[in-house]
Amino acid sequence: MDKTIPTLAEAVAGIGDGATVMIGGFGGSGAPIELIHALIDRHVATGHPTGLTVINNNAGNGHVGLAALIEHGMVKKLICSFPRSADPVVFTEMYLAGKIELELVPQGTLAERIRAGGAGIPAFYTPTAYGTDLSHGKKIEEFDGRPYVQERWLKADFALIKAHVGDTHGNLTYRAAARNFNPLMATAAKQTIVQVSHLVPPGTIDPETVITPGIFVQSVVQVTNPQQEEVLNRAKAVYP
Amino acid sequence: MDKTIPTLAEAVAGIGDGATVMIGGFGGSGAPIELIHALIDRHVATGHPTGLTVINNNAGNGHVGLAALIEHGMVKKLICSFPRSADPVVFTEMYLAGKIELELVPQGTLAERIRAGGAGIPAFYTPTAYGTDLSHGKKIEEFDGRPYVQERWLKADFALIKAHVGDTHGNLTYRAAARNFNPLMATAAKQTIVQVSHLVPPGTIDPETVITPGIFVQSVVQVTNPQQEEVLNRAKAVYP
Amino acid sequence: MTKLSNAQIAWRAAQDIEDGAYVNLGIGFPEMVAQYQPPGRQAIFHTENGILDFGPSPAVGAEDWDLINAGKKAVTLNPGAAFFHHADSFAMVRGGHLDVAILGAYQVAQNGDLANWSVGAKGVPAVGGAMDLVHGAKRVAVITEHVTKDGKPKLLAACTLPLTGVACVTRIYTSLAVIDIVDGHFVLREKLASLTFDDLQSQTGAPLHLDGPVQDLTVPELS
Amino acid sequence: MTKLSNAQIAWRAAQDIEDGAYVNLGIGFPEMVAQYQPPGRQAIFHTENGILDFGPSPAVGAEDWDLINAGKKAVTLNPGAAFFHHADSFAMVRGGHLDVAILGAYQVAQNGDLANWSVGAKGVPAVGGAMDLVHGAKRVAVITEHVTKDGKPKLLAACTLPLTGVACVTRIYTSLAVIDIVDGHFVLREKLASLTFDDLQSQTGAPLHLDGPVQDLTVPELS
């Protein structure tokens, strides 16, 4: 069993029009910039994929990564908690022009909905957002005298994930706060595609320190020295 | 901040009559034998605590650890998934004599209910046990055309946990499959009391490999060379 | 051959497991399936107490009692193994990440209902992870004797013992046959050559349907 | 002194944080609270993007952009730090494990309702973790100017802006006073000595109650 894919282009080749795609990262930390850019490359060359529903904590920053994906008109709908950033001009303009849909979800509820999707839990109750605009239309139930909001799982066709060390079976570790949503999204997609900074043989990663066991991963592509969104944006980079 | 407690006796001193106590472990692996025995010592000396509700995957084996706790008549009710073992005589006799209550919970539901207790999720839906005797009286709801069982969170007054390495802030790692329920129970109790085989200063454990962050832990007691239930039972040990 | 041994039933079930499949084997008899993987194929075994990719038992005396499977037997690790806690373990189970779960059975009904956790009698009930495992694996298979020790059918129109799960089993490997569950029916796929269809039907508690040719169930001699 | 600076409000809030407390500070102004921990006390700071026990910003040029806080600022680690994913992070939040959360506010109502995520106007809405943080921390406190830039009360009988959470705030540190929320009322605990009760009441949108003596709100000069 070997889950490695030789190139970024091949890794994202199966993502079709209208797919739901989870993209890891919190701002730039843990964002799989190279996988996103490979998807943009395909769109530039072929016009596809388009009409994507993207699930991420944010809405991109500057003109690289997720912001560039949105800027290329590939995203129909965004599910996120915080679509603001230092330079949110791409999303802001498209949103105010009615060219992209937004489903705003509190950050902890977003994380838990993704975890639920991966764990086979179709719905759960949370105190978060009770009595606010973000629970409108949702089922409310009382437990032990306190009201809670019913939230549904989130699943995706694909997850684009950034990990630090990965083996050919798909076992993964992350780096510092770049972990964030990545391990959750890996569990909640039919096809989880991971870019790893270091590809190693099975048995290299201590079983005690594996964060994402390989069962959650379908494709692994090595990207040594991955780019950081923050560094690109400070250099005012534009992709492509 | 230093969460260490010098002795096992002091670590369990606060557990009163009628308390709900989660005890980590799957069979003998990860079972905090020394903490359990310290609780039995207190009962032998003082007659307390008694009337405990214990949450564990199993019901003990032989005459040490959880089985000995039950044998001493300290447990009023057991919440578990699998009260059978190689030598289940203690629980079996008390159960058939009507001297101990049993709440039988499917293992995955038990784990998820404890995780929910720690995560502030009062209830969730699972496909597990739908249409079986173990979902009698529980609320059923359909999602996407499939029926699911509503399950409630589980919380406890105390958790007795076994970890491998722990620091004075309560950051923990585990050893192999001795991890099992321990990290979940650590999150779901008001007071989490941990026996660690190796006590180290903060900064010793790599932040990437911490399994239980210290926020979930209130007391740490060092037990070097802890006993293994399996080894005790093969030697036909009886506690005390 | 009048019926398969447990080892032969396990062998037959092992032939349907693909290379790289993630598999959970129920405790006891189903654990034997791991011994009969076809050459060149390697499944990855999950145990619900928190290990992925464990290997065979160690030598006697070399056991590490922190390294056990769900049956509390000592195991070893393969390269690429991982440890995780119980909630993550059952996320794998319930979340549909396992390719195959193979379980034992007291009874299986023609709609796929499974009874394997309680004989309904007095005594101490115990369920473990069985009710979770039947919901989640992409394929839930059963290995079992075709009939009980006193000759009564285990494959039934409806289970009479307490259920483990509803409409969850899709294939049954018995000591006499391989049977799929399709649209609420038993569909016969393979049977021992020495048995007639009528012989098999007489030992089965609900109608056996045909959907294409029935193959001979052939297995090697196994100790 | 006519009103406290932001630094002074943050200083006052910091005095109520106990040694060893687990604390989440909202992004922006509340982050200042970390700078004013009393000598001999060390809180452990949680950031919802997956770090416990992070420290101050590194020197310019020494940033590691994988090591950031919820405000996307580079941080450092203290000995005893831990990383975890977002679901575990919000388990800490919602599960009641944080001792204190300190947030900014547009408006706070006398029953503890908080509005701090949306000015209700056109534009891009963004909520982040605020709605989670207000449910879960054992103590939810707000630091804020006492009135808006154009002099209108921020402490109100009822919020007019979209709510972040219902009945969640228990203490408010403002530029003029320290006010608790008890049983649906604002209870004045401290105020600047230069202000009369009536001065303060005139800048507050709901009745200020008294429950015991009102202390002078005294803070050091801070740059």
Q: What does the pLDDT read at residue B1? A: 86
Residues D52-61 pLDDT 10s? 999 999 999 9
Output the pLDDT for position C1: 67
Q: How much of chain B is in helix, strand and coil states, percent to nearest 5?
A: 30, 30, 40
For chains D and C, having 3+ Cβ pairs within 8 Å is answered no
Write down the pLDDT at residue D1. 67
Q: What is the pLDDT of residue A204?
A: 98
Please check the confidence at residue C138 and state whether its pLDDT lies above 80. yes
At residue A48, the 3 state secondary structure works out as: coil
Q: For chains D and A, tell me whether 3 or more CB atom pairs sit within 8 A of each other.
A: yes
Per-residue CA distances from B171 to A238, B166, B215, C110 (Å): 42, 5, 8, 51
Other Cβ atoms within 10 Å of D71 Cβ, number: 16
Domains in chain B (CATH in brackets) are 8-129+140-198+209-233 (3.40.1080.10)
Residues C95-110: what's their mean pLDDT? 97
What are the domain boundaries of chain D? 6-216
Closest chain C residue to B175 measured between Cα atoms?
A: C66
User: Is D195 in CB contact (< 8 Å) with chain B?
Assistant: no
Q: Which residue of B has its CA nearest to A205?
A: B209
- Shortest distance between the Cα of D171 and any Cα of chain B, in A, equals 22
Instruction: Considering the candidates C48, C145, C190, C221, report the single residue annotated as catalytic.
Output: C48
Specify the DSSP class assigned to residue C32: G
D26 touches chain A (CB under 8 A): no
SS (H, E, C) chain D: CCCCCHHHHHHHHHCCCCCCCEEEECCCHHHHHHHHCCCCCCCEEEECCCEEEEECCCCCCCCCCCCECCCCCECEEEEEEEECCHHHHHHHHHCCCCCEEEECCCEEECCCCEECCCCCCCCCCCCCCHHHHCCCCCEEEEEECCECCCCCECEECCCCCCCCECCCCCEEEECCEEEEEECCEEEEEEECCCCCHHHHHHCCECCEEEEEEEEECCCCCCC
> Amino acid letter at C171?
R
CA pair distance B80, B58, nearest whole angstrom? 6
Catalytic residue among D31, D48, D63, D145: D48
B-C contacts at Cβ under 8 angstroms? 147
Bridging pattern class, strands D51-55 and D44-47? antiparallel
What is this structure's pTM? 0.98
State ipTM.
Answer: 0.98
> Are A120 and B126 a contacting pair at CB < 8 A?
yes
Q: Which CATH class is domain D6-216?
A: alpha beta
Region C23-37: mean pLDDT is: 95
Q: C: neighbours with 3+ CB pairs under 8 Å?
A: A, B
What integer best gives the mean pLDDT of chain B?
97
Q: Which stretches in chain A have pLDDT values below 50?
A: none
Confidence band for B226, pLDDT divided at 50, 70 and 90: very high
Query: For D77-122, how does the pLDDT look when each residue is reduced to its tens digit (9 = 90+)?
Result: 999 999 999 999 999 999 999 999 999 999 999 999 999 999 877 7
Q: Which of D79, D82, D94 sits opposite B213 (nearest CB)?
A: D82
Q: Respond yes or no: is residue C48 known to be catalytic.
A: yes
Question: How many CB atoms neighbour CB D209 within 10 A?
Answer: 15
3-class state of residue B130 by DSSP? coil
User: What distance in Å separates the CA atoms of residue A65 and residue A67, rounded to the nearest whole number?
Assistant: 5
Show residues of chain B in contact with D52, CB under 8 Å: 213-215
Å between A153 CA and nearest CA of chain C? 11
What does the pLDDT average to over C173-190? 98
CB of A224 less than 8 A from some CB of B: no
The order of strands in the sheet holding C155-156 is C114-115, C107-109, C155-156
Indicate the length of chain A as a whole number: 240
- A182-191, D11-20, D122-131, range with the lowest pLDDT: D122-131
Residue in C19, C81, C94 nearest the CB of A119: C94
Smallest Cα distance from C39 to chain B, Å:
29
Tell me whether residues B132 and C87 touch, CB distance under 8 A. no
Cα–Cα distance measured from residue D83 to residue D95, given in angstroms and rounded to the nearest whole number: 18
Alpha-carbon distance C11 to nearest alpha carbon in chain B (angstroms): 27
Nearest to B31 by CA among B154, B178, B156: B178
Contact pairs from chain B to chain D, CB under 8 Å:
67
Nearest Cα residue in chain D from A164: D66
Contact D49, A26 (CB under 8 A): yes
- Give the mean model confidence (pLDDT) for residues D6-19: 97
Confidence of residue C79 (pLDDT cuts 50, 70, 90): very high
Residue C93, classified by CB atoms within 10 Å of its CB into exposed (0-12), middle (13-18) or buried (19+), is buried
Chain B within 8 Å of C107 (Cβ-Cβ)? no
pLDDT, position C136: 85
The span from the CA of D74 to the CA of D83, in Å, is: 15
- Rounded CA-CA distance A147/A124 in Å is 13
CA distance to partner chain A, nearest, from residue B157 (Å): 17
Please give the interface size between A and C, counted as residue pairs whose CB atoms are below 8 Å apart. 67
Q: Min CA distance, A216 vs chain C (Å)?
A: 7
Condensed to tens digits (0 to 9), the pLDDT of residues D154-174 reads 999 999 999 999 999 999 999
Q: Do B179 and C50 touch (CB under 8 A)?
A: yes
- What residue spans of A49-136 are helical by DSSP H? 65-71, 89-96, 107-119
Average pLDDT over residues C48-57: 97
Strand stretches in chain B, DSSP E: 20-23, 52-55, 75-80, 101-104, 123-126, 140-143, 146-152, 156-167, 172-173, 189-200, 219-222
Cross-chain residue pair C91–A214, CB shorter than 8 Å: no
* Residue matched to tokens 């069962």: A215
Chain A neighbors of D122, CB-CB under 8 A: 96
Q: What is the pLDDT of residue D136?
A: 85
**Which residue from B minimizes the CA distance to C86?**
B180
Nearest CA in chain B to D46: B215
State residue B28 phi and psi, 5-degree precision: -80, -20
